[in-house]
Amino acid sequence: MSASAWWRACLFAASFASACAAQAHDFVTVAPSACLPVEQGMRLPTDMAPYRAAVRVCPVARQSAPASAAAKVRLISVFTDDYYKALPANAPWQSFPLPMLIDDTGRCLGRLAHLFPVDPPQELTVSAGRWQRGVPQELRLTVKSPAVGGDATLPSLHWNPRTGGYAAKTTHPSQDKTSCPPT
């Protein structure tokens, strides 16, 4: 290999590594503290309506986006801790609907396979990245658990421009919990 070919190979490898590193740092975590109560006029999926007081809307947006720019993707979820605050300590556990990803018009883009942010004693962390035109192309899901099994990484959800929604690439269709409810 000539010296110039070697230098070109090194330069290519360095730029590739730099691009990969930049992409890895491209991910932002959806902060539960940034989630707001659902607005009164907002239509909720039928399965979330009974929990309206505990439903929160979370922007899924880049940190570098202008503050005035509305998030193109939002996460709506029943915050279980908020739901149980006003109930007696021995209140039975509800079968809560899974969180839903929606666009700025309210159209369903997919569901998460785990409650967000808390499904006691577990906590779900959602990280969005690989952005294109304000839309995250990948959502990484990590469950933190004090249980014996410990923490777990769930299959990532990937944006499918053909279907206009998110889906896990590694999930068999019969096991998919991330599809939108019928409308």
Residue 4 lies in a domain: no
pLDDT-derived band at 92, boundaries 50, 70, 90: very high
- Residue 87 CA to residue 82 CA, distance in Å, equals 10
Q: Say if CB 58 and CB 35 are below 8 A apart.
A: yes
pLDDT-derived band at 14, boundaries 50, 70, 90: very low
- Residue 91 CA to residue 110 CA, distance in Å, equals 30
pTM, to two decimals: 0.81
Partners of 94 in the β-ladder: none
Q: What is the number of alpha carbons within 13 Å of residue 115 lying toward its C-beta?
A: 19
Residue 78 lies in a domain: yes
pLDDT-derived band at 63, boundaries 50, 70, 90: confident
Residues 105, 75, 50, CA angle at the centre, nearest 5°?
A: 90
Residue 150, token pair as written in the block = 């410990």
Residue 11 lies in a domain: no
Residue 111 lies in a domain: yes
Residue 93 lies in a domain: yes
Q: What is the number of alpha carbons within 13 Å of residue 117 lying toward its C-beta?
A: 14
Decide which of 1 and 36 is more confident. Answer: 36
Partners of 138 in the β-ladder: 129, 158
Residues 124, 128, 132, CA angle at the centre, nearest 5°?
A: 165
Residue 17 lies in a domain: no
Q: How many domains does the chain have?
A: 1
Handedness of CA 57, 38, 179, 118 (dihedral sign): positive
Q: Say if CB 137 and CB 100 are below 8 A apart.
A: no
Buried b (16+ CB within 10 A) or exposed e, 21-39: eeeeebbbebebeebeebe
Residue 149 lies in a domain: yes
Residue 155 to residues 12, 14, 142: CA-CA distances in angstroms? 31, 29, 9
Q: How confident is the model over 159-169, as pLDDT tens digits?
A: 999 999 999 98
Q: How confident is the model over 111-140, as pLDDT tens digits?
A: 999 999 999 999 999 999 999 999 999 999
Residue 10 lies in a domain: no
Predicted confidence (pLDDT) at residue 25 exceeds the cutoff of 80: no
Residue 120, token pair as written in the block = 């006691």
Domain that holds residue 154: 26-175
- Residue 130 CA to residue 115 CA, distance in Å, equals 23
